[in-house]
């Protein structure tokens, strides 16, 4: 399998090739893992447990385990909470948001900047939520 960058794929998409041909030729490049699979792999990679991640993410156990089992899909905010619970870096968080088909955090939005700062400085959900609330922004 040849690895292609996102820019390479965009260039191909903008070319004259029919979409069906593009999809067929790039079948091995597209992400195929489900979000639950990615999250479970991250738990293993980070050497933690689902229980600890759910607790640090400040989610209810039932809801958290439903996400990990693939029975529920989290909102963007809840996925960000899971990223915090997993101890992901800003770059890892951005990648996971994109892989989940969600908008990455955007530094030109005040709310997102507060979240980015918190993640980058190792803050927990409660600490980030306090700052969001203090700035009149919706909490996670």
- State the CATH number of the domain containing residue 122: 1.10.260
Residue in the block written with tokens 């890892």: 92
Inside any domain, residue 5: no
Give the torsion sign (CA, 74, 80, 83, 85). Answer: negative
pLDDT of residue 4: 87
Inside any domain, residue 22: no
The number of distinct structural domains making up the chain is 1
How many residues appear in the chain? 140
pLDDT of residue 71: 98
Inside any domain, residue 40: yes
pLDDT of residue 29: 87
pLDDT of residue 31: 83
Burial of 73 per CB tally in 10 Å (0-12, 13-18, 19+): middle
pLDDT of residue 2: 65
pLDDT of residue 135: 98
Residue 71: C-alpha distances to residues 9, 15, 99, 115 (Å): 31, 38, 18, 27
- The angle formed by the CA atoms of residues 108, 85 and 45, to the nearest 5 degrees, is 110
Inside any domain, residue 128: yes
Inside any domain, residue 13: no
Rounded CA-CA distance 124/56 in Å is: 7
Yes or no: say if 79 and 97 are a contact pair by the CB < 8 Å rule. yes
Instruction: Select from 31, 130, 33, 35 the least CA-distant residue to 83.
Output: 35
Inside any domain, residue 68: yes
Boundaries of domain holding 75? 33-134
Residue in the block written with tokens 């067929």: 24
Inside any domain, residue 21: no
Inside any domain, residue 25: no
Per-residue pLDDT for the chain (140 aa), expressed as one digit of tens each?
A: 568 898 999 999 999 889 999 999 998 888 889 999 999 999 999 999 999 999 999 999 999 999 999 999 999 999 999 999 999 999 999 999 999 999 999 999 999 999 999 999 999 999 999 999 999 999 99
């Amino acid at each position: 399998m040849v690895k292609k960058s996102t820019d390479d794929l965009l260039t191909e998409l903008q070319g004259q090739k029919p979409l069906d041909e593009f999809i067929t030729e790039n079948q091995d490049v597209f992400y195929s893992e489900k979000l639950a699979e990615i999250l479970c792999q991250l738990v293993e990679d980070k050497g933690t447990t689902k229980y600890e991640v759910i607790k640090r993410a400040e989610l209810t156990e039932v809801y958290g385990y439903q996400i990990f089992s693939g029975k529920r899909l989290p909102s963007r905010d809840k996925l960000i909470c899971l990223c915090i619970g997993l101890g992901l870096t800003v770059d890892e968080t951005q990648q996971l948001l994109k892989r989940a088909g969600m908008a990455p955090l955007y530094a030109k939005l005040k709310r997102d900047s507060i979240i980015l700062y918190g993640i980058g400085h190792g803050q927990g959900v409660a600490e980030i939520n306090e700052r969001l609330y203090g700035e009149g922004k919706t909490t996670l």
